[in-house]
Structure 1
Amino acid sequence: MTTTEDRSQAGERKPAQIVDMSWDPITRIIGNLGIYTKVDFANREVVECHSTSSLFRGYSVFMRGKDPRDAGFITSRICGICGDNHTTCSNYAQQMAYGIKPPPLAEAIVNLGEAAEYMFDHTIFQDNMVFVDFCEAMVKATNPGVLAKAERTEAPGAAVHGYRTIADIMRAFNPFEGEVYKQALKVSRVTREMFCTMEGRHVHPSTLYPGGVGTMPEPTTFTDYLTRLVRVLDFIKQSVAMNDDVFDFFYEALPGYEEVGRRRIMLGCWGAWQDSNFCDYRYESMGDWGRQMFVTPGIVVDGGLVTNNLVDINLGMRILLGSSYYEDWADREPFVTHDPLGNLVDMRHPWNQTTVPVPQKRDLDGGNYSWVMSPRWYDKNADQHLALDTGGGPLARLWSTALNGLVDTPYVKATGHSVQISLPKSEKLPEMTLEWKIPKWSNTLERDRARPYFVAYSAAMAFFFIERAMSMVRAGDMKTFENFDVPDEAIGCGFHEAVRGVLSHHLVIRDKKIANYHPYPPTPWNASPRDSYGTPGPYEDAVQGQPIFEENGPDDFKGVDIMRTVRSFDPCLPCGVHMYLGKGKELTRTHTPTYGASHD
């Protein structure tokens, strides 16, 4: 097979053989994402890509007029997968608006719940969805030559994970039959139990409120969590070794594969896990306490850190339209003209956004084609609206934390060029220090590689949070809630990391009611269509121009390289678009639905 590298060296370019190919819906999580491409089979590359979404739900519309104290419970229903991330972020925004700080033990409990969520969600997605594209059955169907080489290639991490060859690892990920595939489902159950111990219910928490938590901080609450954490440690250590082995093998087996899903390094991370020693939720000090998070916020462009200041990150947010089905709001009165520090707030900032849907026919030839808007970050120094992506979540989190070099705990340390993760002895494996190093590329394989490393990061930080919580309980510091009053008028913003990446909630209160509310999860950033400047969204940008390594021709083409790229971002469309029934419309259930991970 001719690779991109081979063509470049030979200067060879064949007459194009363009075939329109689409995958709509892509259904492993939810069926509202469509990828429309033009593939040049003569030169083995994707020449055009459009990312579409066919569903509108409108939380920003029906949140208006609600009691702000209900915001966390309502917005958790945005997604049936990461609803707790929304509750947490909503509570952060409310705490800023109400001027309150939860007790330290409550903050530790929230951090423990979110750590369990990262372990749960990343495991089930990586091992039961992403790795289906790298399993023996899929590689046999798309790249039999690669599978033959995998059968002959010894796995470098065999002493950790126990599989002799790369093909043995691939077989272990075969759906429904592979040992790792089945084991991951068991681990997801245990980590979900850990989550429920802290937040009451998965995926819509029943014990998280603005001001604190309703979780009973008994010693058994934390020991129950800890015993489960120790039970999954072997699997977490083995997963890192297996993923490293498979992804390193792909680079070796398919020269040029680093170009699959590669885009300019433009990563955004809003930070995760507040440090109660520093965080007071005041906007005026947000830059300072944001840098004390246990995942450090940052915007990384071309490998360099542009800013780690949450105030700058907040003010740079712009919601553009371009190719999405909405009416512009630029001529309306702004809700917020200046932030609490006196900085001017742009009309396209989430605080000022007004959502007015305009349903229309999809037009992929220069018109509108998606219900997802186009969030961008305005870099005032470069005068550019950057189409940031989240790297699927873990890539941006690890990259920003590593570059910042601020996290320094007994379990996780950022070095400036890497993140070192120390895990204690587990049932079968000794104490280990894993090191994620900043890669050369922001591409498909590195987005996927980062995911098991961040599961390990989450497990390590869970030990840290457990120690903090148990120390407070032993000292008799059992307070978990701070009372508050809802002000007549206020604004707030919350910044967090959902599983798939950046998450923000922006809140405006007038007359003690919600006047404006806009949640921006990772999917609008990643799945956005071309914006008003013609800039493609990250899915589109990563797929468009990538080489094709699949050995099949147009007649039996699976599109596995394209699917690997899209899935490397951990797509989840419930967070991208919302449903709204206009005045006078009634929704009637006519059948009994089958509930699964994609329902909310």
Structure 2
Amino acid sequence: MAAELVEMAWDPITRIVGSLGIYTKIDFKAKRVAECHSTSSIFRGYSIFMKGKDPRDAHFITSRICGICGDNHATCSCYAQNMAYGVKPPHLGEWIVNLGEAAEYMFDHNIFQENLVGVDYCERMVAETNPGVLELANRTQAPHAGDHGYRTIGDIMRSLNPFTGEFYREALQVSRMTREMFCLMEGRHVHPSTLYPGGVGTVATVQLMTDYLTRLMRYIEFMKKVVPMHDDLFDFFYEALPGYEEVGRRRVLLGCWGSFQDPEHCNFRYADMGAWGRRMFVTPGVVVDGKLLTTDLIQINLGIRILLGSSYYEDWTDREMFVTHDPLGNPVDPRHPWNQHTDPRPQKRDLDGKYSWVMSPRWYDGRDYLALDTGGGPLARLWVTALAGLVDIGYIRATGDSVRINLPKTALKGPVELEWKIPRWSNTLERNRARTYFQAYAAACALHFAEKALAEIRAGRTRTWEPFEVPDEGVGCGFTEAVRGALSHHMVIRDGKIANYHPYPPTPWNASPRDSFGTPGPYEDAVQGQPIFEENDREHFKGIDIMRTVRSFDPCLPCGVHMYLGGGRKLELLHSPTGSAGDGSS
């Protein structure tokens, strides 16, 4: 029997340095998404107008790529510049950068998880999409009620209601504290004013660290409530909706570029990048089908490929290569960011051809071009760090199959040990769960960084910046984790100016369209084929499971959702859909 597909689209669903549109074909009889395309409709062109600029301005310019995680871009750019200039910041300068980045993770994950993602699971939303689930939630006791104070799962959902929910309002207050923490370290949020290659301009004092720690301890107390509350909420959805693990599930293909440098080991030299990368406090790595393929940043760097396929650009492989070999003599591919040329070709959107301004970053493992995703950032970070087992700083220990986070005694609660365990699935709920645990992870790291910074200050080592000179010729690459995941900046210097510059934030990895091999991007792959559990019929369908899946990747901050039904146009599918239902005819 032919399946009846209905075209439905959400455009824009959220802001990703422009607009994100999700275009689907849905089989309402089978209650599944048969096909999905992810589109972005705005071209920015930073890689074009960076050319010819003074390299020392790179971090100030690239922080403006994003009004959400601009400091992540500034930090990554400074890492790339440090490499190109051959400069190593003083230890205290790096501890301050780490403290700023930790505060950014806490701020952004908190406001996104609690005030934006949380709305998808609040009482009002669940009442509109799954009233039967809400009825069950009101009868279900919360297993960790003693830790977070909410008696039932329904009470948790009510606390997430926007503007009226108790927890929703509390999270807004917490976000203010974490933003203050960032400003203490880097002067201004979200475009830092005291961050430079070679270190920072922040004046480091005991009082500065005390002001930071006072706010940090309040945040840690908050996390002792947040983690068990979200565990109860997400576990409930698995129990209430059998099969819900398939929502947003895709093959485990995770990439993490590492975060938080250890200044006792990091010298920013490319030749040593594999070694100092492994000493990061978030371990870099690639996980494929649950196995850790590498933790070597040099290998990670050389494996990056920028593919086109469904993107609005001309190919560049017959044009000049800026870097034929890396500083160690390894060959560099023409599709590597060091060699990319950006040649935009705007045209009408064609979902069967070219339909997005997002290119398709892939990671080449020697055989396949893998469509890695970041798991929204935290899922990849925790998964890689857990498997690698390299981090052990007292507050945090990676065990090989989990990450243990020790939070000290706070004003109202004693010490707490949290343990994030590698999940069975890479899916919507586990991306969201990891975001909660990584807030606690970032807070525990910040405690360590503050202790290290205080030790430097008390020892009289208060220098925070090291001078440098810009070379006439050079290359640099920076690797870190933006809030949403893997972030890299690649720079080529010629005649003392920027000859080529390409930043790759997590959104291109996650929101990429089908590449030149026909491989869908992670948003598309995660949504396509997923079941639908919403109780509404086609006429009142909100697409909540689709929205939850896309938002679980943290595609910048949602600004508005508009629904478009395509005039109710129906398509007849002449074969049983498997994976991508690409042979439909109207």
Q: Which amino acid aligns with 2:364?
A: Y
CA distance in 2, matches of 1:449, 1:64: 40
Amino acid at match of 1:476: G
Residue of structure 2 aligned with 1:377, choices 325, 343, 363: 363
1:75-94 CA-to-partner distances (Å, cap 9, x unmatched) read: 00000000000000000000
Alignment check: 8 A CA contact 1:28 1:129 kept: no
> Aligned equivalents of 1:283 and 1:558: distance in 2?
49
Aligned partner of 2:414: which letter?
P
Deviations 1:537-589 (CA, angstroms, capped at 9, x unpaired): 00000000000000011100000000000000000299xxxxxxxxxxxxxxx
**Post-superposition shift, 1:28?**
7.0
Q: Is the 8 A contact 2:18 2:40 kept in 1?
A: no
Alpha-carbon distance in 1 for matches of 2:508, 2:242: 32
| Aligned counterpart in structure 1 of residue 349 of structure 2, from 335, 344, 362 | 362
Rounded Cα–Cα distance in structure 2 between residues aligned with 1:569 and 1:421: 23
Deviations 1:337-369 (A, max 9, x none): 0001100000000000000110000001x2100
User: Is 1:330 aligned to residue 331 of structure 2?
Assistant: no
| Structure 1 vs Structure 2 CA RMSD | 1.0
Pairing 1:190-269 to 2, within 5 Å after superposition: 190-269=177-256
TM-score of the superposition, structure 1-length normalised? Answer: 0.92
Give the aligned partner of residue 558 of structure 1.
542
Instruction: Determine if the alignment matches structure 1 residue 284 to structure 2 residue 268.
Output: no
Q: Provide the rounded CA distance (Å) in 1 between the counterparts of 2:523 and 2:94.
A: 35
**Which of 133, 156, 159 in structure 2 is aligned with 1:146?**
133
What is the aligned partner in structure 2 of residue 127 from structure 1? 114
For 2:520, which of 529, 536, 539 is the aligned residue?
536
Q: Residues 353-387 of structure 1: CA distance to partner in whole angstroms, max 9, x if unpaired?
A: 000110000001x210000000000011xx10000
Q: Could you report, residue by residue, the CA deviation over 1:369-428 in whole angstroms, capped at 9, with x for unpaired residues?
A: 000000000011xx1000000000000000000000000011000000000000011222
Number of the residue aligned with 1:417: 401
Specify every segment of 5 or more residues in structure 1 that has no aligned partner in the other structure, as ranges: 1-13, 575-600
Describe the shift of the 1:374–1:448 C-alpha distance in structure 2 as closer, same or farther (beyond 3 A).
same
Counterpart CA distance in 1 for 2:389 and 2:258 is 13
Q: TM-score, normalization: structure 2?
A: 0.94
Question: 1:304-324: CA deviations, max 9, x gaps?
Answer: 001110000000000000000
Q: What SS does structure 2 have at the residue aligned with 1:70?
A: helix
Q: Secondary structure, in 3 states, of the residue corresponding to 1:421?
A: strand
Could you tell me which amino acid in structure 1 is paired with residue 6 of structure 2? Answer: V
In the other structure, the counterpart of 2:580 is none
User: Which of the residues 335, 339, 348 maps onto 2:326?
Assistant: 339
Q: Deviations over 1:95-150 (max 9, x none)?
A: 00000100000000000000000000000000011010000000000000000000
Separation in 1, partners of 2:213, 2:321 = 48
Match of 2:417 among 433, 439, 454: 433
SS at match of 2:305: strand
Q: Which residue of 2 aligns with 1:406?
A: 390
Residue pair 1:15, 1:42 contacting (<8 A) in 2 also? no
Aligned to 1:586: none
Counterpart selection for 1:62 from 49, 64, 79: 49
Does 2:62 correspond to 1:78?
no
The counterpart of 1:392, out of the listed 362, 376, 400, is 376
For residue 17 of structure 1, report the CA deviation from its aligned partner.
2.7
Where does structure 1 differ by over 6 angstroms across 4 or more consecutive aligned residues?
28-31
Cα pair distance change 1:65/1:28, threshold 3 Å: closer
Q: Distance in 1 between matches of 2:395 and 2:473?
A: 42
Pairing 1:487–2:474 present? no
In 1, Cα distance between the equivalents of 2:167 and 2:412? 16
Which segments of 5 or more consecutive residues in structure 2 lack a partner in the other structure?
A: 559-586
Question: 1:264: how far off?
Answer: 0.2
> In structure 1, what is the equivalent of residue 502 of structure 2?
518
SS at match of 1:24: strand
Equivalent residue in structure 2 for 1:35, among 18, 22, 32: 22
Number of positions where the alignment pairs a residue of Structure 1 with one of Structure 2: 558
What residue identity is the alignment partner of 1:156? P
Secondary structure in 1 aligned to 2:154?
helix
**Residue identity in the other structure for 1:142:** T
1:306 aligns with 2:293: yes
Displacement of 1:15 in angstroms is 5.0
State the Cα deviation string for residues 422-442 of structure 1 (Å, max 9, x = none): 001122221101000000000
Alignment partner, residue 179 of structure 1: 166
Q: Which amino acid aligns with 1:472?
A: E
CA distance in structure 2 between the aligned counterparts of 1:126 and 1:415, rounded to whole angstroms? 26
Equivalent position SS for 2:3 = coil
Distance 2:208 2:111 in 1: 24
> CA deviation digits over 1:227-256, x for unaligned, max 9?
011112221111111110000000000000
**2:14–2:557 CA contact under 8 A, matched in 1:** no
1:31 Cα deviation from its structure 2 partner: 6.2
Identity among equivalent pairs (%): 73
| Alignment check: 8 A CA contact 1:411 1:461 kept | yes
Query: Partner residue of 2:157?
Result: 170
- 2:472 and 2:496 in contact (8 A); partners too: yes
